[in-house]
Chains A and B, each alone.
Chain A
Amino acid sequence: DAGVIQSPRHEVTEMGQEVTLRCKPISGHDYLFWYRQTMMRGLELLIYFNNNVPIDDSGMPEDRFSAKMPNASFSTLKIQPSEPRDSAVYFCASSLGPWEYEQYFGPGTRLTVT
């Protein structure tokens, strides 16, 4: 069975541009999570969805960040406009439950904003 799929794997963009990261969760997983990993802050939860509905977006840094899940097999994380401090690795993960089950992570998208 395929794992969590993320695209692109690498993204380099200029400050001010819009960036869209994509994720396909494992089929049958009702929960989808977006994380950001940086050297300074480690792994941070940005937002998570249950059955396509955002449940907790308290980790989203600011209004420049938005996430959607239009259906059970696709989610996007958008940054508009991007800034150099957004440079990080963004992970998508999915699981069968919010906390009692392990989360399976995608390979990540390494974002560089110049």
Chain B
Amino acid sequence: AQKVTQAQTEISVVEKEDVTLDCVYETRDTTYYLFWYKQPPSGELVFLIRRNSFDEQNEISGRYSWNFQKSTSSFNFTITASQVVDSAVYFCALNSWGKLQFGAGTQVVVTP
């Protein structure tokens, strides 16, 4: 069985602060893929990043960065210098053998 845990239900920050979203996963598979999706207030789900289980390199894309640590089964996401437009629910997801398992999501609220 696979499981994704996003322990933080909601995080509130003031604009320009950094925010880190935690994601811990469980799987018995040695090959799997991890994803982050963003769901803004408009409701659509937007793909942010994909990482396979063999690639532990951290990744940076603009103000977004991801830290994948296989040893602790974590795939954390950091938004640097947050902006109001970053306000959304962020989902971490795990996929092995065809089923995308989502975490419960973390609501990020960025206030001016």
Contact = CB atoms under 8 A, between A and B. Distances in A.
A103 B104 contact: no
A60 to B, nearest CB: 14
Interface string A33-53: 100000000110100100000
Interface stretch (B18-26, B43-51, B76-84): B43-51
Contacts of A56: 98-99
A45 B99 contact: yes
Interface in A14-44: 33, 42-43
Contacts of A89: 43
B100 interface: yes
Contact of A42 (B32, B97, B99, B102): B102
A43 B43 contact: no
Contacts of A12: none
- Size bin of chain A's contact surface: 20 to 34
Interface of A is mostly: strand
Contacts of A45: 99-100
B102 A43 contact: yes
B65 interface: no
B66 interface: no
A108 B100 contact: no
* Among A55, A100, A110: residue with most chain B CB under 10 A: A100
B95 interface: yes
Contacts of A43: 91, 102
21 contacts: A42-B103, A45-B99, A48-B98, A56-B99, A93-B45, A98-B97, A99-B98, A99-B100, A101-B50, A102-B47, A102-B50, A103-B47, A103-B100, A104-B47, A105-B44, A105-B45, A106-B44, A107-B43, A107-B44, A108-B43, A108-B44
Interface of A: 33, 42-43, 45, 48, 55-56, 89, 91, 93, 98-108, 110
